[in-house]
Structure 1
Amino acid sequence: MTAQIYVTRKLPDQIISKLRTSFEVRMWDEENVPVPRDVLKKEISIADGILCLITESIDEELLQNAERLRVISNMAVGYNNIDVEAASKRGISVTNTPGVLTETTADLTFALLMATARRLVESSSYLREGKWETWSPMQLTGQDIYGATIGIIGLGRIGEAVAKRAKGFDMNILYYNRSRKPQAEKELGITYTGLNELLKASDFVCIMTPYTPETADLIGKEQLLLMKKNAILINTARGGIVNETALYEALKDGVIWGAGLDVFKEEPVDLDHPLLSLPNVVALPHIGSASIKTRMKMADLAADNLLEALQGKTPSCLVNGSGLAAYRK
């Protein structure tokens, strides 16, 4: 019997054609609308493999009906949308797409940093709304980037790539990570420090850490109060790492100077969200990896993960290998 694949969002024809050479493929045929949960529940009950996005919550309830499911291929680096433990208990492989989006996401992170520091979105609106009447010495002035201190929270692949870009701006680079990286310190000239020390010293704080129970609300009121009044917070990781209520209050009250956000706790973010009302916030719709080339690489790698798992191979991007081994004993 041919293995059944379900793809939770419309993907380019070349990706689907690749899967159809070996499997029977069904797909939610919408590009900008997530698959409804009732549809996903039905499809997952008869699928051998799922190719999903971070918009799909693959939880215990869904997996209870997944009697045939052997692999969940997540088209993302993060996989907090999947109950990995529940999948492991059922012998289901979980894969992700690391590596291919590193440079693109680092580009976006630094672009967001620069746009926030130099008030680019605000300035563009100022011009388009007909408010620009003359040159003025302090009009729309922002923060300098060259030579400033940047603090990177989470020095994985993307964090290191951001550090490389910061080095080109002759920035003083601090980082906080669950473990030190002596090789990166040597190669990039960066300095390891504690979280509180990083927050106190940095002009720019970039959040690059994965979202886990340990990093949920990592940046809250207490942490924001440690930051400089001219500091800018950049988050291109996951929204839940920052307490959004505390961030709104800090920005509104001038505790910190600005924020650049590509991610929110609830996505898509509600247009009535308080953070969107602030002029010192640059907000983006989770476009960190959104270049044509990179998204195609992500989709291709997600397809390869499916192929490998359903052909009885160990996927190259397996995230629950130890978990699977433990439950199979």
Structure 2
Amino acid sequence: MTRKVGFLIFPGVTLMDVSGPAEVLSRAPGYDIVHFSPQGGTVETSSGFAIAETAQPSLVDAASLDTLIIPGADLLPDQPWPDGLLDTAQFLISNMPGTHRIASVCTGAFVLAELGLLDGRQATTHWRNTRELAKRYPKIKVDHDTLHVHDGRFITSAGITAGIDLALSLVEEDHGAATARTIAQDMVVFMQRPGGQSQFVSHDIPTTVNNSIVRKAMDIFNADPQGHHSLASLANSVAVSPRHLGRLFQQEMGMSPGRWIEKMRLYTAQELILEGYSITAAARHSGFGNDENLRRSFERRIHMSPTEYRARFGTTFPEN
């Protein structure tokens, strides 16, 4: 049985969003890979490479698809939609067999979201854009950490190389774990990558703060990040009740004051660890106080220990 897999590409598409999953699928038996685009012809990717001979999809093309994959691009979601992208996606999806799979890589999830197809479903996208996806489309249950999310016939993945993880999951679904594992080994990638997106997040806290009370509370913390900052003490410092401060933070930052403080300390600790500070020094300077508090935060938020984090992200060169 041959399964036809169509990629819907467009000018400025991220090349790896296409080539990564396509490479996985090309190494598995029984896939016929086709490239569609709104206008057909040659399409230039974000890195300057061109994908030639893309086709404008027909009814026959749509009806024969087993899987549609919509890749992402840096231009999404902030710039205007590429000409014809939404209409072409809608055409393909409307004319596909109703039980067949629809997937997105990275910010390709915004295409599915704009068409209303992810309402009420779990979905993900690149970690830089999960907050925006949730804000624009509040009916979607956005997963901020998982590398790929399967919900019915819809499969969404995190950013760029997570398209490889998504494609391996498709191969496993179609051909079994052994086939997917062999491909992963040949491509020198994990069959199931350890951790989720959280390990890659550098700084996802909003930088623009409009509320003066929230801004003042943040300034108090930033002036002494190693100090003791409870909700009650911060609220007292800005002359509001703890409940009111918590509500303002939730409205402005999308999180509680305590969660914001932990995130700020965690980012500081990550930077210090990568700069070569010891775990103990990083814990002290970031405000966690001791190694155990730092370790617990790392395990809870990015699913690895500080030592593992240093080994994974510290340098591209092996340690002597």
Kindly indicate which of the two structures has a greater share of residues assigned to helix: 2
Identify which of structures 1 and 2 has the higher relative contact order when contacts are C-alpha pairs closer than 8 Å and 6+ apart: 1
- Normalising by structure 2, we get a TM-score of 0.32
- Normalising by structure 1, we get a TM-score of 0.31
